[in-house]
Amino acid sequence: MKEMLKVGNIQLNTNVLLAPMAGVTDITYRTICKEMGAGLVYTEMVSAKGLYYKDIKTAQLMKINQKNRPVSLQIFGSDADIMAYVVENYINQRDDIDIVDINMGCPAPKIVKNGDGSALMKNPSLAGEIINKVKKSSTKPVTVKIRAGWDSKNINAVEFAKVLEYNGADMIAVHGRTREQFYTGKADYSIIKEVKESIDIPVVGNGDIYSPQDALKMISETDCDAVMIGRGILGNPWLIMNTAKALLGNFDFYEPSLTKRIEMIKRHASMLVSELDEKIAILEMRKFAAWYMKGMKNSSETRASINKITNAEDLYNVLNKYLETID
C-alpha cells in the first residue's frame, strides 16, 4: 500500500484524484466527488489570460466550496509572464486555493492552436520557463498535467518531466496517451512507469481507470504515487469511493441501486440549481443525467424527455415516473 500523497506541503487523505475536466468538474460535481472520497479535486481549466483580463466567466470557474479542500486550480496558457503575474496577484491571495496546476495536456484544437495545453509538449524550454516563473511567484505548490507526447513519433514525457522537475514542479500527472490520440486507443502505462523511474517528485497516473481494479493495475504496473480518474466518473462518482477503498485493501464495494442513482440525479440537479439560474442549471444537467442513466433498463424514453425539460420540477416528475415503471 502506498503512503498518502503529499503535494508540496499539502497532505491528501486518499490517493484518488479527480481529474480536471472542462464542463464536468464544476463546483457541484467537485462537491459530490469530494464526498465520495477524492483526496484532491481540480477546477475546470481556467485561462490565465482570462484571469489577467478579468473575464467574468473565469470568476465563476474559480468558485470554491471550502468543504472540498484541498482544491487545485488548473490554469492554462503559454505566456510565462502572464501566468506568473496571475498567480502572484490573484491566486496567492486566495486562501481557498491550495495548489496551482498547469495544463500541458489538453488536446482540444482551440487550446492547442494558441500554443497552450498539449502544444507545450512540443516546446520543453517554454514549458520549463513557465514552471520556473510560476514557481517563483507562487506561495502554493505548483503541479503539471502532461501527456505521453505530441504523437507516436514524439513521445517525450520522460525528458519533458525532467525539465519540469528541474524548474520546480512539485508533482506531475501523466496521461498515458499522446495528443494525437485524444481519448482513443489505450493509455500506455509504460510511459507513466518510465516517468516515475526518472524523476524524484510524485507522479500521478491518469488514463483508462473505469474500475477499482484498473487503478490497482496502474499502480502495480507503474509504481505511480496516486491515480487520477477522469472520464470513468461520468455518471459514476461511486467509482472514487470504491477505488479509495481498493487502495486500502478493502474490496467491499458499494453498488448503488437504481433508486439510489435516480436520487443522486435529483440531488445533483438541486445542487446545480442552487449555484446557477434554474433554466441554465437544468440544461447543464441534461448531460449529467444521460451519464447517470447510461445502461439503465428502459431509460431511453426518459433520457429523451429530460432533453426537452427546462425546469427542476419537470425533471423530478420525469424521474419519479421512470422509477414507477421499473419498480
Contact 138, 96 (CB under 8 A): no
Domain stops at, among 214, 248, 282: 248
Average pLDDT per consecutive 10 residues, the chain (327 residues; last block may be shorter): 93 98 96 98 96 88 96 98 97 97 95 96 97 98 96 95 98 94 89 98 98 98 98 97 97 96 98 96 97 93 95 97 87
Do both 226 and 266 map to the same domain? Answer: no
Q: Check residue 57 and give its pLDDT.
A: 86
Do both 48 and 162 map to the same domain? Answer: yes
Distances (CA, A) of 237 to 37, 253, 281: 9, 13, 19
Contact 222, 196 (CB under 8 A): yes
- pTM, full prediction: 0.95
Q: Which of 41, 45, 106, 201 is catalytic?
A: 106
Q: Is 173 annotated as a binding residue?
A: no
b/e string for 243-277 if b means 16 or more Cβ within 10 A?
A: bbbbbeeeeeeeeeeeeebbebbbebbebbbebbe
Do both 236 and 275 map to the same domain? Answer: no
Do both 233 and 298 map to the same domain? Answer: no
Q: How far is it, in rounded angstroms, from Cα 141 to Cα 298? A: 48
Task: Classify residue 115 by burial, with Cβ atoms within 10 Å: 0-12, 13-18, 19+.
Answer: middle
Is residue 106 annotated as a catalytic residue, yes or no? yes
Q: How far is it, in rounded angstroms, from Cα 166 to Cα 185? A: 31
| Structural domain boundaries, residue 57 | 6-248
Q: Is 230 annotated as a binding residue?
A: yes
Beta bridge partners of 303: none
- Domain count of the fold of the chain: 2
DSSP at 87: I
Do both 279 and 164 map to the same domain? Answer: no
Q: Is 168 annotated as a binding residue?
A: no
Q: Is 267 annotated as a binding residue?
A: no
Q: Check residue 327 and give its pLDDT.
A: 66
Q: Is 226 annotated as a binding residue?
A: no
Q: Check residue 272 and give its pLDDT.
A: 97
Q: Is 21 annotated as a binding residue?
A: yes
Position 1 in a domain? no
Do both 212 and 273 map to the same domain? Answer: no
Q: Is 8 annotated as a binding residue?
A: no
Do both 219 and 267 map to the same domain? Answer: no
CATH number at residue 292: 1.10.1200.80
CATH number at residue 41: 3.20.20.70
Nearest C-alpha neighbor of 145 from the set 21, 60, 2, 235: 21
- Residue 172 in grid coordinates: 506531475
Position 253 in a domain? no
Rg (CA), the chain: 20
Contact 89, 122 (CB under 8 A): no
Position 87 in a domain? yes
Q: Check residue 121 and give its pLDDT.
A: 96
Position 12 in a domain? yes
Residue 204: φ, ψ to 5°: -110, 130
Q: Give the H or E element holding residue 50.
A: helix 48-52
- Residue 218 in grid coordinates: 496502474
Domain stops at, among 226, 248, 270: 248
Amino acid (1-letter code) at residue 248: L
Do both 192 and 273 map to the same domain? Answer: no
Do both 282 and 167 map to the same domain? Answer: no
